Amino acid sequence: MNSTRKTAVVVGHGMVGHRFVEALRSRDEAGQWRVIILSEEKLPAYDRVGLSYYVGNWNADDLALPGNMYDGDDLVDLRLGQRGEAIDLAAKTVTSTSGDVIAYDALVMATGSYPFVPPVPGHDLPECFVYRTIDDLDGIRAAAEAAGPGAHGVVVGGGLLGLEAANALRLLGMTPHVIEYNGRLMPAQVDAGGGAILEKLVTDIGLNVHTGVGTAKIVSIEEEGADKVTVHLSDDAEIKASLVVFSAGVRPQDALAKASGLEIGARGGILTDLALQTSDPSVYAIGECAAIEGVCYGLVAPGYTTAEIVADRLLGGAGEFPGADMSTKLKLMGVDVASFGDAHGTTEGALEVVLHDAAKGTYAKLVVSDDAQTLLGGILVGDASQYAALRPLVGRPLPADAAALISPAGAELGADSLPDDAQICSCNNVSKGAICGAIAEGACDIPAVKSCTNAGTSCGGCVPMIKKLLEQSGVALSKSLCEHFTQSRAELYDVVAVTGIRTFSELIAKHGKGSGCDICKPTVASILASTSSDHILEGEQAALQDTNDHFLANLQKNGTYSVVPRMPGGEVTADQLIVIGEVAKEFGLYVKVTGGQRIDLFGARVEQLPLIWKRLVDVGMESGHAYGKSLRTVKSCVGSTWCRYGQQDSVGMAVLLEKRYRGLRSPHKIKLAVSGCARECAEARGKDVGVIATEHGWNLYVGGNGGLTPKHAVLLAGDLDDETLISYIDRYLMFYIRTADRLQRTAPWQEALEGGFDYLKAVVCDDSLGIAGDLEAAMAKHVEGYKDEWAAVLEDENKLSRFVSFVNAPDEADPTISFDDSGERKVPVLLGLPGMPVGVASDTAPAGK
């Protein structure tokens, strides 16, 4: 085989180039082809469509496409930072920028597009950027940070990418302006009516929109200051700004092809037939650089199709480009925009049905055939919830009256109205039939459908549809807490709140069955704790707590506990530090500073806990609740008191928040952080509630967490004053505590909310459910009722008597506990050997004092 192995050279390593290599390598089982890739960028293929996600976390690795280094594949040779410089069609060679001359059997042009920069005077000033690569975004970020918060930034171009660029500027703390030559935003996707609503919605969010004007020139400003250029508009208006981003569309990158003599389309792009073959039969063009029968497609989905076809052709297949679905759905700054099928009604005789609700800020248009029987396309702005149901119907008979389909009170589009071949997930091309098949084979919830079919794993827009298909197939999504309660945690919370039942025994007798278990007991304990300020070891509640809450300390692997006193905002006095040191020394504890700005003391036996806590309480320390599903820590940076960049007093705010929410029990542990400026030294966006100071107040982020699937918190509201900030956090946390599932962190809770993040925002910021007062009152009650759990135990002989290793020998230490102090750090020694009979293990242990 090796002697006949052929070489495919791929010029360009973007999303489509990578897809081509993946497709060829996965299908070419016999190893007929080896692949050499020339990549102009230094980074291997990344998700350019998701480029805007790079803003905020600045982690290029997150965008990397899976498998883009082809590790372990000897037949792929990826050459990063090397462009194709020249092609010799006669000799069938490509010369790279490093001078290598590479012979090919097949050449695949995947050079993509370059951003079009209109030749306005000043377009080449150092303050001007384009929005295409990770490098571009790094440059924009540096300029925005140098300019400081609130500085003005101008985006030339109000298309899809222009709005994304403007949003990136907004996330960088700038005041963004968008200039669009057309009379409306996103002219390719929406019509005048949709554009008007879109303009209103993005203006409400803080974008300054200038439509129907051109950019006349850009002039440098000589004086010092944040403003570096003046942008002159065609209507004589001027905008002073720190930077300008050109996002006026893209052009196919066809220069190399043109120079080597390949035929170019009338409007640019490398001309190909439906087989993606160029004017030279050994050369193919795929993705955005290809002009397929003269037409360039600037979306990734048709690009992927071209990649698959060429991979197939190289292996002897006969695939042809079937045309492209140019549907788009996106959420820009929380604004839904969707456009699908023949959105502009270009089909002969097409009719339009429009529902324009200016008050609600929504616009919906359906384009139907001249007999009003067939759906041709549509535009949705402000609310695109019907997109998933409507888009698969394009080209098919309308299941109901067109007006009813887009009217809020109109026809609910059942999943049953869709044919089996209708595409539900357009990102991963999954049909209704495939999803129903997975359900029939036993996938009984959303995660299972996702993992069997890939549907819903990209943009998530089709998840509501998958849910409907699950419901329709009769799958009852069980919310039962455990075998003892058929209710979910949220339902049990309501039962407790409404009935006033305060004991587990009464609750299980009236609303459950059996005697409970390690799932429902701690859940009910948490609900009881969230709804009152009783001590958690009081009365029957004591029996419900898991071992951490029962001993108010964290169980470690050898049965000892760790002790973590609270340090609000990470502050600690010298006296307190000295006592912590003394306690650690006296009780032989292992000391470690935690990730949450606390000091953790490990290795305390049960009977030592009260002695240790007595000492800590005496110097003013209290329980840090590190053991509970409760508020853990509020991390902070040093803020404006000490830091030269700090914009607000982050320590003060962190202390205030920690004292407010300490002792608050919840479905999962909760962490907060407060950063004093956008440098984010407290890593607030990795927390359930993250607060970041701005020049004008506080930005509030919610729903971040670590754990198995880390999430960044999402901006809930910006530039809040102290009072509003606290009321929003009160509402957010209480709403979470009342409605989340057992052990559900804030991030998945937020994602699972019906109506999504917009709904959460409406509940918390606009009080759309009218429960804000109730949530705040519940939090006020918690704050007022807070008492230190450890201080209360120390004052109560009955509770103290529980803190013993042995009920019959309260002074005896557990003889099975031992530590190895010989190494660098103290480590617990476990009992016996694996598989050793249990009875023997205790026999061999020392008999005690």
Partner 1 sequence: MTVIDTPTITTETVTWTQACRLDFLIPGRGVAVLLKGGRQAALFLLTDGTLAAVGNIDPFGRAAVMSRGIIGDRGGVPVVASPLLKQAFSLIDGRCLDDESQSLPVYAVQLDGGVVAVSNEPVQTP
- Which residues make up each annotated binding site? 637, 643, 677, 681
In the complex with partner 1, the residue whose CB is nearer, 372 or 836, is: 836
Look-up of token digits 């480029």: 51
The footprint of partner 1 on this chain (CB under 8 A) covers a number of residues equal to 47
In the complex with partner 1, the residue whose CB is nearer, 526 or 816, is: 816
Question: Of 147-155, 580-588, 729-737, 838-846, which segment contacts partner 1 by CB under 8 A?
Answer: 838-846
> Minimum CB separation from partner 1 for residue 604, in Å?
14
Question: Of 272-280, 409-417, 692-700, 834-842, which segment contacts partner 1 by CB under 8 A?
Answer: 834-842
In the complex with partner 1, the residue whose CB is nearer, 431 or 560, is: 560
Site for partner 1 in 776-815 (CB under 8 A): 801, 805-809, 812, 814-815
Site for partner 1 in 500-559 (CB under 8 A): 505, 514-518, 520-522, 540, 542-544, 546-547, 550-551, 555, 557-559
In 656-801, where do the E strands start and end?
Answer: 670-675, 689-693, 698-702, 714-720
Query: In angstroms, rounded to a whole number, what is the distance separating the alpha carbons of residues 766 and 64?
Result: 38
In the complex with partner 1, the residue whose CB is nearer, 197 or 544, is: 544
In 113-212, where do the E strands start and end?
Answer: 113-115, 128-130, 152-156, 175-180, 208-211
> Minimum CB separation from partner 1 for residue 521, in Å?
5
Site for partner 1 in 169-208 (CB under 8 A): none
In the complex with partner 1, the residue whose CB is nearer, 543 or 753, is: 543
For 210, phi then psi, to 5°, come to -125, 100
In the complex with partner 1, the residue whose CB is nearer, 508 or 726, is: 508
Contact predicate 327/352, CB 8 Å: no
> Minimum CB separation from partner 1 for residue 158, in Å?
56
In the complex with partner 1, the residue whose CB is nearer, 472 or 547, is: 547
CA nearest neighbour of 66 among 22, 130, 128, 28: 22
Residues 6+ apart with CB under 8 A from 56: 171, 685, 712
CB < 8 Å & 24+ apart, contacts of 533-538? 533/781, 533/782, 533/784, 533/785, 533/786, 533/787, 535/787, 535/789, 535/792, 535/793, 535/799, 536/665, 536/789, 537/789, 537/793, 537/799, 537/802
In the complex with partner 1, the residue whose CB is nearer, 484 or 761, is: 484
Q: Check residue 460 and give left, alpha or beta (phi > 0: left; psi -120 to 50: alpha).
A: left
Question: Of 172-180, 186-194, 787-795, 825-833, which segment contacts partner 1 by CB under 8 A?
Answer: 825-833
Question: Of 279-287, 398-406, 617-625, 827-835, which segment contacts partner 1 by CB under 8 A?
Answer: 827-835
> Minimum CB separation from partner 1 for residue 651, in Å?
36
CA angle 632, 634, 640 (to 5 degrees): 170
> Minimum CB separation from partner 1 for residue 610, in Å?
16
> Minimum CB separation from partner 1 for residue 507, in Å?
13
Query: In angstroms, rounded to a whole number, what is the distance separating the alpha carbons of residues 843 and 313?
Result: 74
> Minimum CB separation from partner 1 for residue 519, in Å?
9
* Feature table: binding site for [4Fe-4S] cluster: 637, 643, 677, 681
Q: Check residue 761 and give left, alpha or beta (phi > 0: left; psi -120 to 50: alpha).
A: alpha
In the complex with partner 1, the residue whose CB is nearer, 301 or 841, is: 841
Contact predicate 710/686, CB 8 Å: yes
CA nearest neighbour of 177 among 141, 209, 213, 144: 209
> Minimum CB separation from partner 1 for residue 808, in Å?
5
Site for partner 1 in 682-711 (CB under 8 A): none
> Minimum CB separation from partner 1 for residue 797, in Å?
12
> Could you please report the per-residue DSSP string of 355-378?
EEETTTTEEEEEEE-TTS-BEEEE
Site for partner 1 in 552-611 (CB under 8 A): 555, 557-559
Question: Of 6-14, 167-175, 348-356, 840-848, which segment contacts partner 1 by CB under 8 A?
Answer: 840-848
> Minimum CB separation from partner 1 for residue 527, in Å?
16
Instruction: State yes or no: residue 837 binds partner 1 (CB under 8 A).
Output: yes
In the complex with partner 1, the residue whose CB is nearer, 138 or 483, is: 483
In the complex with partner 1, the residue whose CB is nearer, 170 or 665, is: 665
CA nearest neighbour of 521 among 496, 545, 485, 539: 545
Look-up of token digits 């359900």: 439
* Feature table: binding site for siroheme: 681
In 268-393, where do the E strands start and end?
Answer: 270-272, 283-285, 290-292, 328-332, 335-341, 351-357, 362-368, 375-381
Which amino acid is located at 300 in the chain? V
Contact predicate 256/269, CB 8 Å: no
Q: How far is CA 710 from CA 686, 705, 797, in A?
A: 8, 5, 43
> Minimum CB separation from partner 1 for residue 813, in Å?
10
Site for partner 1 in 464-493 (CB under 8 A): 483-484
> Minimum CB separation from partner 1 for residue 529, in Å?
16
Contact predicate 669/628, CB 8 Å: yes
Query: In angstroms, rounded to a whole number, what is the distance separating the alpha carbons of residues 732 and 666?
Result: 12
For residue 594, the SS3 value is coil
In the complex with partner 1, the residue whose CB is nearer, 727 or 816, is: 816
Query: Which one of residues 80, 403, 791, 841 is an interface residue with partner 1 (CB under 8 A)?
Result: 841
Positions touching partner 1 (CB under 8 A) are: 483-484, 505, 514-518, 520-522, 540, 542-544, 546-547, 550-551, 555, 557-559, 801, 805-809, 812, 814-817, 830-832, 834, 837-839, 841-843, 845, 847-848
